[in-house]
With several copies, the nearest count.
Chain A
Amino acid sequence: MTATAARPSALDVEAIRADFPILSRTVRDGRKLVYLDSGATSQKPRQVLDAEREFYEQHNAAVHRGAHQLAEEATDLYEGARATVAAFIGAQFDEIVFTKNATEGINLVAYSLGNAATAGPEAARFAVGPGDEIVVTEMEHHANLLPWQQLCQRTGATLRWFGLTDDGRLDLSDVDSVITGRAKVVALTHQSNALGTINPLEVISARAHAVGALVVLDACQSVPHMPVDVMSTGADFVAFSGHKMLGPTGVGVLWGRRELLAAMPPFLTGGSMIEVVRMEGSTFAPPPMRFEAGVPNIAQAVGLGAAVDYLDAVGMEKVHAHERALTAYALDGLATVDGLRIIGPPTNEARGGAVSFTVDGIHPHDVGQVLDDLGVAVRVGHHCAWPVMRRYAVPATTRATFYLYNSTDDIDALVAGVEQAKRFFS
């Protein structure tokens, strides 16, 4: 471990940590909390909690509906959050759909395509049926796998996928035979939550677009951790969750290219997404409203806007650099542990701060338990990416994930904890 690794970046981690109330609590027998589970969900700074609370205490009303002052203010705050999120990822305002989480965003696309077959001539180009193919990868989170399995089941389309190499990368040796002319959708993750791998998007989206397929990007683990400009990802749709990027639970984002959203049939239907409603049939509002049925997660969107402001103020470049340094430090540290195997790219090349590993002779659950006892919160299990576990012939892994509030001390605690688990179970 070099001196630069020990001071990984220009981020003032102490100052940042002071914004996160939960980081000063203790767990178990009065242990300091070492939170290395941000890949599952991030902690929230005071600024986000304050924004939500202020919304409720001063401006709470149903948006888009009332003519009274509170409704105006609530609408402004909600739509303001949309503008904030749009700017953050280089999108247009009306290309941002608020969902409840990334899972809903991906399901939205899958169901909208599924609905296209019966939604009239304008939607026909989106229809999916027998003979069509949907392409995913073996490293997808269940959220970007099951909606496509289900779409295939409903429509008779066929699911195909990219396999993985031994060092945790997509096997791109034969892109053209996986993405064929029958592909309608190519859905993949930007960064694997289980392996840490960052995928090369250009080669895949180039091929996808060449055959006329839509590209759906799961950005759950990229947008929170690095600057992402949706227009340069080559994707047609990008989904991510607010709770993984300092925002509240209960809010996610789906970005879609304007001309696609404008032509796609709705998914959830109900209030606020309509143009004209008659008992005999209804027409729908333009996006983004078309895809936001019912009273939305207003306070949560406002909270997410505050989270984006927080990340913007810190600077996504800096967040990314900090995490890269932490990841390098962690890979180095874990390499010193005998019998520890990294599941995923072993080097810091094209990889983010999700480090999965196994320890010879100790089940990940037991490793996690010892770590928990020491105050170190990691995740154990299949990380909602069960096919990855099968691919690497492990029942599960222990996974540490990093964020802007983590320091090298946290990683030292992790490495020491793994050593302790080894002693305990030896």
Chain B
Amino acid sequence: MQMESLYQEIILDHYKHPHGRGLRDPFGAEVHHVNPTCGDEITLRVQLGGTDAEAKVEDVSYDGQGCSISQASASVLYELLVGKTVGEALAVSEEFRTLMQGRGKVEPDEDVLEDAVAFAGVAKYPARVKCALLSWMAFKDATAQAVGAETGGTP
């Protein structure tokens, strides 16, 4: 089965045992994203330690419904991004997006992506790329809002 390139062991593990799942307080911003083709949804919160690129991502919490790919992807995101600076986290996000949209022709950088390299096979299934990206897009959006909200709040 070609399918094993899609459903890597790591993905199935994260799917069955998601990390960081559940919505938590405190949070700087919360967003709700939907995949209009399949109806999958995610609610995602971020808590940052400040407003600049050097600020820490203190927590990412999430809930929602979705397929194994989207669920595992949120779990990996949690593992990877919490504890990084905002700048680093967005850089990893960007690398992940490039991998996903690369149609299987982009070589993943394991140093940057760690467990997320397991998603390399998803890039060959265009219909699933959106599943893998759902939480990452939500993270980017929430982070922008959190930074904006806090910056806006500074006198």
Contacts and interface: CB of A to CB of B under 8 A. Distances in A.
B38 A396 contact: yes
A381 B37 contact: yes
Interface stretch (B51-59, B84-92, B122-130): B122-130
B35 to A, nearest CB: 9
Interface string A372-396: 0100000011100010010000011
A66 B2 contact: no
A3 interface: no
Given A366-B67, A424-B7, A373 B38 contact: no
Contacts of A72: 125-127
Interface in A236-264: none
Nearest to A73: B126
Interface in B87-134: 125-128, 131
B37 A370 contact: no
Interface residues of A, number: 30
A28 B2 CA distance: 7
Instruction: Name, among A276, A364, A382, A396, the residue most crowded by chain B CB atoms within 10 Å (CB to CB).
Output: A396
A419 B125 CA distance: 22
Given A363-B67, A365-B67, A65 B37 contact: yes
A66 B126 CA distance: 10
A76 interface: yes
B38 A369 contact: no
Contacts of B128: 67, 365, 369
Dominant secondary structure of chain B at its interface with chain A: mixed
B46 interface: no
A408 B65 CA distance: 34
A149 B38 CA distance: 21
A373 to B, nearest CB: 4
Contacts of A67: 125, 127-128
Contacts of B125: 67, 72, 369
Given A366-B68, A373-B1, A373-B3, A71 B36 contact: no
Contacts of B6: 369
A64 B37 CA distance: 7
Contacts of B12: 425
Contact of B131 (A64, A65, A365, A425): A365
B127 A66 contact: yes
A146 interface: no
A275 interface: yes
A386 B68 contact: no
8 contacts: A29-B2, A72-B127, A364-B67, A369-B7, A373-B1, A381-B38, A389-B39, A396-B38
Given A365-B68, A370-B3, 15 more contacts: A29-B1, A64-B37, A72-B125, A72-B127, A275-B34, A275-B36, A276-B36, A364-B67, A366-B67, A369-B6, A369-B7, A381-B37, A382-B38, A395-B40, A395-B65
